[in-house]
């Protein structure tokens, strides 16, 4: 049976009905991976023997439910005990952690089965996976195009049917942007909703663990499991985790939805704008109240982000010195040379660019002019959102200005590459939750993503609205035919 076509909840129904075993699922997915992987190139590491062993163990117990017996993938930024964790960097090419991230630990405790570790832009810096030190992943909708990034391997694997879901991280759009490019669901929860412990840090005040899945129900189910206070992460919030699945009732009657005019303007492709406007009409038809608003400081989010994120990255990456982790140049004559040549060899060009930018912005004399200024802008962006959420339940926008671009098209044009995140970065700057769901295809038959944003810790409203949209449209059922895709 072609089990790669099914969502988590569909697979779980089959397990509980006794139609299939967990071993059947694992075998079916590995045969899918064998068929697809030479084109998708999503995995850095596969864990076939361990996955089969876990599946057999679970089948032996004979009890299913939730995510038990169902496979998943992890962006290779999550530390996995005894399994190589590279961050797609030469620096950590052979790094095997002795500990497990809290988020993946929670999945494993519930019987989730790890199939493998997924490709990304080095240390999650990038928008296409072309910054991976190893190889770029490809978009199952068109092999010539990028899957987005930095969680491009994770999104491509889910879209290609290699895994039903993956955990990833989002600092400025790294879950929502690839979800949008690959036509799947991608959630960045509120800052602090999910523990970041054991996830390699990029920009600690912006990073958040989230989910890539094939539908909204699956996404809600996974957040229920991974969210909540973790004593190992002091920024994880001690706020009750609701039963998100209970909000999936298909109702948006009376919901107040705002669309910020700035997010539909220049740089946004006409076909993207049209698809999201059509989706807004759908919400109206379903009884929601839809109104235009303004988020005037969002246009400054990207420049402020490219001060704050590199500043934090430059300090976070200082730990990679050739002594404690990863690659070491053992030929160097003295310790100072060893530090610098290990870092010169271990880091790729984008990571070096960020470290230089960040170190510059934090240096005395420039700190006030750049870093402090960026923090003030960040506050203004957050206040804009706060104001809108006094009158509205939800904000809707395109996830990205355009659909997936071609491999090689933007890699030499750093600023153009950065613009892919213009509509997702403000959400990280404000610490709010955002979800991207498919809402149409453009003229090249590539998926368009719609971003829903809610107030902090109100993921329930995101799920409620996203599910209602899904129930009343068929976009989430569209799968990549050109890529020999799920229905293709």
Residues annotated as catalytic are: 75, 150, 174
Question: Could you tell me what percentage of the chain is helix, strand and coil, using 3-state DSSP and rounding each to the nearest 5?
Answer: 45, 15, 40
- Residue selected from 11, 20, 67, 125 as contacting ligand GLN according to rule CB under 6 A: 125
Beta-bridge partners for 113? 71
Beta-bridge partners for 139? 142
Cβ of residue 76: shortest distance to ligand GLN, in angstroms?
13
Which CB sits closer to ligand GLN, 83 or 203?
203
Cβ of residue 427: shortest distance to ligand GLN, in angstroms?
11
Phi then psi for residue 335, to 5 deg, are: -70, -35
- Residue selected from 105, 107, 114, 124 as contacting ligand GLN according to rule CB under 6 A: 124
Cβ of residue 170: shortest distance to ligand GLN, in angstroms?
5
Classify the phi-psi angles of 15: left when phi > 0, otherwise alpha if psi is within -120 to 50, otherwise beta.
Answer: alpha
Q: Tell me if 411 sits within 8 A of 128, measured CB to CB.
A: yes
Cα 161 to Cα 295, 341, 376, 398, 460, distances in angstroms:
37, 41, 43, 25, 27
User: What is the C-alpha to C-alpha distance for residues 61 and 91, in angstroms, rounded to an integer?
Assistant: 41
- Residue selected from 200, 309, 430, 432 as contacting ligand GLN according to rule CB under 6 A: 309
Tokens of 60: 């032996």
**DSSP letter for each residue of 347-382:** S-HHHHHHHHHHHHHHSTTTIIIIIIHHHHHHHHHH
Which CB sits closer to ligand GLN, 212 or 255?
212
421 near ligand GLN, rule: CB under 6 A: yes
- Residue selected from 171, 195, 298, 314 as contacting ligand GLN according to rule CB under 6 A: 171
- Cβ-Cβ contacts under 8 Å for 248 (sequence gap 6 or more): 216, 217, 220, 463, 464, 467
257 near ligand GLN, rule: CB under 6 A: no
- Residue selected from 7, 54, 132, 174 as contacting ligand GLN according to rule CB under 6 A: 174
Binding segment for ligand GLN (CB under 6 A), chosen from 49-57, 121-129, 178-186, 330-338, is 121-129
Which CB sits closer to ligand GLN, 171 or 341?
171
Which CB sits closer to ligand GLN, 76 or 421?
421
Which CB sits closer to ligand GLN, 42 or 338?
42
Binding segment for ligand GLN (CB under 6 A), chosen from 109-117, 171-179, 363-371, 383-391, is 171-179
């Amino acid at each position: 049976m072609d089990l790669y076509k099914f969502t988590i909840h569909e697979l779980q129904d089959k397990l509980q009905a006794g139609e299939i075993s967990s071993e059947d699922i694992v075998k079916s997915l590995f045969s899918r991976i064998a068929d697809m992987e030479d084109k998708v190139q999503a995995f850095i590491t596969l864990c076939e023997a361990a996955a089969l062993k876990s599946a057999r163990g679970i089948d032996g117990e004979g009890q299913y439910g939730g995510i038990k017996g169902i496979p998943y993938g992890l962006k290779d930024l999550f530390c996995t005990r005894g399994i190589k964790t590279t961050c797609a960097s030469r620096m950590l090419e052979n790094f095997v952690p002795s500990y497990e991230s809290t988020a993946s630990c929670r999945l494993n405790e519930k019987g989730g089965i790890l199939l493998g570790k997924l490709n990304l832009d080095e240390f999650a810096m990038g928008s296409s996976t072309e910054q991976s030190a190893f190889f770029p992943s490809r978009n199952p909708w068109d092999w010539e195009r990028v899957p987005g990034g930095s969680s491009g391997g994770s999104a491509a694997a889910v879209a290609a049917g290699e895994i039903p879901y993956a955990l990833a991280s989002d600092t400025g759009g790294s879950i929502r942007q690839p979800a949008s490019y690959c036509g799947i669901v991608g959630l960045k929860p509120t800052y602090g909703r999910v523990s970041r412990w054991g996830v390699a840090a990029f920009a600690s005040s912006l990073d958040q663990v989230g989910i890539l899945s094939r539908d909204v129900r699956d996404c809600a189910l996974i957040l229920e499991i991974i969210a909540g206070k973790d004593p190992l992460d002091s920024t994880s919030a001690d706020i009750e985790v609701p039963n998100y699945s209970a909000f999936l009732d298909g109702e948006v009657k009376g919901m107040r939805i705002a669309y910020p005019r700035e997010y539909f303007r220049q740089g946004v492709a006409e076909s993207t704008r049209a698809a999201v406007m059509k989706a807004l009409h759908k919400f109206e038809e379903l009884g929601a109240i839809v109104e235009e608003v303004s988020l005037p400081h969002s246009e400054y989010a990207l420049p402020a982000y490219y001060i704050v994120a590199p500043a934090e990255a430059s300090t976070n990456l200082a730990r990679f010195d050739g002594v404690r982790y990863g690659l070491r140049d053992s030929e160097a004559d003295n310790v100072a040379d060893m530090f610098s040549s290990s870092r010169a060899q271990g880091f790729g060009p984008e990571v070096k660019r960020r470290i230089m930018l960040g170190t510059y912005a934090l240096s005395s004399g420039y700190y006030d002019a750049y870093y402090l200024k960026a923090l003030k802008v960040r506050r203004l962006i957050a206040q804009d959102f706060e104001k809108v959420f006094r009158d509205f339940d939800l904000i809707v926008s395109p996830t990205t200005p355009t659909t997936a671009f071609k491999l090689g098209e933007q890699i030499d044009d750093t600023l153009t590459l950065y613009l892919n995140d213009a509509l997702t970065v403000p959400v990280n700057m404000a610490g709010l939750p955002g979800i991207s769901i498919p809402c149409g295809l453009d003229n090249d038959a590539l998926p368009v993503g719609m971003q829903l944003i809610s107030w902090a810790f109100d993921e329930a409203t995101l799920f409620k609205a996203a599910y209602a949209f899904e129930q009343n449209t068929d976009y989430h059922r569209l799968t990549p035919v050109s890529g020999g895709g799920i229905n293709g």
